[in-house]
Homo-oligomer: A and B are copies of this chain.
């Protein structure tokens, strides 16, 4: 099978794990939000292919990404999905200790005096992989030659939209985190994410937050009017709203769009999920809009007036992937006073669970000996964008 633009991936591409690995060694992938590790020594663990990594917020305020493996006898350094380390990262096996800022060995139990700090010891520090921030978002790359200019363009493209949140003068923190292993190809999961033709039947509750014509097909006159009014409002507030459809950076789509009338947040009841508004929004003046980022190769992130929902997917093999979601709020929001995780997380837990079923189903079907790539419909244009991009970027 050869690839044809406008159709799904050839079978041999879907099951080519080396190709997937090449992509993640060449491209910056979404790895979490600064709000996932807001304080010094906070860490967030993640898995990519057979490897475990963790983000850690250094004592110098810089967030870094290390391989989760002690160089002494290979034990895992951090255990839970997320947590806070001691001042040094201490291996639970033999208590070797590492500096979170440099990854260097600062204590090597039972080793002869003089070992720590020696040239040999240098070889046994933590393995670090490149990590960069773009506003509130963190991007990593597995390869040594991570393309810095591509990351520069991501930062630039995102800035006008993100800055009102990133430079608002307050911090952010995780309100809730969910992760799940899917028996699904990461490629199928991304195709599912890149179209909303499946939404009408599969995400009925999510769609209740929006005008039915906002995602697919022709906008209704009513919605056009709402959208125009909203754009004028955003203009007034100095909020960027111009659509970016993988045109400035081929890694990024950005859209700002109104929610249904009276919806102050992405909640099923339309009420605020958190009483502390974030970024440019002033308490009591929530905006009825959502700012969304769809990022190649692996994420979609939604900003509303009171919280941020970050979704990202990382392949574990050609058959499995890990699906991460973080709900991020104002650093001063107090659980059970300003927000409850229960109320906040419902929309995306429900929606993502619906997608998980579809992604697994598509993966099973793609495994069929009768598989052949199917055609994307015009409103599935971003599937075509993703497939074209992947074919080229992973070559």
Contact = CB atoms under 8 A, between A and B. Distances in A.
Interface of A: 8, 50-52, 67-76, 92-95, 108-112, 115, 120, 123-124, 127, 188, 191, 197-198, 200-202, 216-217, 358, 361-372, 374-375, 377-380
A393 B48 CA distance: 36
A197 B109 contact: yes
B374 A71 contact: yes
Nearest to A52: B364
A133 B124 CA distance: 44
Contact of A377 (B70, B109, B198, B364): B109
B201 A73 contact: no
Contacts of A127: 370
Contact of A69 (B94, B370, B377): B370
A361 B75 contact: yes
Given A124-B375, A202-B93, A374-B124, A74 B108 contact: no
Given A93-B362, A198-B94, A374 B73 contact: yes
B76 A191 contact: no
Most buried by B among A52, A75, A369: A75
Contacts of A363: 74
B216 A370 contact: no
Contacts of A124: 374-375
A268 to B, nearest CB: 22
Nearest to A111: B377
Contact of A366 (B8, B51, B74, B364): B74
Given A92-B201, A94-B197, A95-B201, A74 B365 contact: yes
Contact of A74 (B8, B73, B93, B123): B8
